[in-house]
Each structure stands twice: as structure tokens, then as C-alpha cells.
Amino acid sequence: MNELKFRIKNIHSEDDKEVADSFNSYFSHLKSLNLKNEDALLKFFGYDFFHDGDIYDLKIFDGNRDVTFKIDALNIRTRESDSKDCEYVNTAFECVFRDVVWLTMEGKRVDALNDPLTDHGGLEFSYSEIDTLTEYIEHFKNNYRGSEVFVDDEPEFHSIIIRFTTPSGYYSGN
């Protein structure tokens, strides 16, 4: 099994109907989750909020338990208080994942001098899926609940697969 492959979204098909159907299936999956609409995981990663945003300052530390990166979200709509017109601006976000129990990344360097994981503008957010790695979520729920390694006594377990693009193609992490 390819861990880095999307489970529901079919972004590689050349058939537009097949792609649209897979996204509709994914949106049905999101509706079935017990996440509130204001939940950050759903809002920012469930619905690809960061699509086409530049990722930079990716850091993995504390034995792969904490992962952070910064991302410039494109086209955030703002409205001046005195105007009915909207303006689109880029807005920087910092994404922080704590108590990561499993991290897998796949990719390759562009060349010996350019590392897309550390160079600004080297990665771009493409798509993501949340809570589709159900077999892994169940494994961690069953084996880690109540463990002293977590900050929270009753942690919630979620999965996220993120597809990044680089100057030389795709880079995935989950």
C-alpha cells in the first residue's frame, strides 16, 4: 500500500467527471466527521484553504513529534469598512502540529544546491485530505490512548495527507 496516496481524491485522472466525483465523495466524507465548521483542521486542511500557497520554514523537531511550517495563503478577501468593494491580499499563517505519532515524507531534492524543504518558495501547497487514513487512526487510538507521551490525557487522533508541489514535481507528506 502506498501510504502517501490520497484515499478519496483522484487528482491524477484526466477525466474531469472522475475528478469531480472523487471530490464530491471526499466532501461527503468530511460531512460524516464529527468536526465543527470552525475546527481549524477542517477549515484549513479539509477544504484546501491553502491551495497554491507558498510553504516555507518547514521544521521537524522533538524526534519528529512536532512539525511546523509557514504558508502564504493566497487571495484572502478583505473588505474596507467604508467600501462595498473587496480586496484580495496574501496572508501568512503558521501551521503547528504537536504530538505527531507518525510522519512519512516522500520526495527528492531538485539538485545539490536547492532544497525545496528549506528554500523559500521551494514548496507550494496543492491539496490535502483529512481523516482518510482510518486504519492508522484506529491503530493509534487503540495503542496510544492514555499514554504519558502526550500533553493531553485523552488526545484526539487525526490523519492528514498533504500534496505539495515543487519546481520538479510533487512532494507528499502525511
**Farthest-apart Cα atoms in the chain, separation:** 55
Nearest by Cα to 159 from 117, 105, 101, 106: 101
Sheet holding 160-166, edge to edge: 86-97, 66-79, 54-61, 123-130, 160-166, 169-173, 105-106
Question: pTM of the predicted model, to two decimals?
Answer: 0.71
Q: Grid coordinates 484526539 are at which residue? A: 156
Domain spans in the chain, listed from the N-terminal domain onward: 16-173
Residue 167's pLDDT is 56
pLDDT digit string, tens, across residues 139-164: 877 777 655 666 555 667 788 888 88
- What is the grid cell recorded at 155? 488526545
pLDDT digit string, tens, across residues 51-72: 888 888 888 887 778 889 899 8
159 conformational bin, left if phi > 0, alpha if psi -120 to 50, beta if neither: beta
- Cα 157 to Cα 35: distance, rounded to the nearest angstrom: 12
Q: Given a cut of 90, is residue 17 above it in pLDDT? A: yes
Q: How much of the chain exceeds pLDDT 70, in percent?
A: 70
* Other CB atoms within 10 Å distance of the CB of residue 58: 19
> What is the band of 1 on the pLDDT scale with cuts at 50, 70, 90?
very low
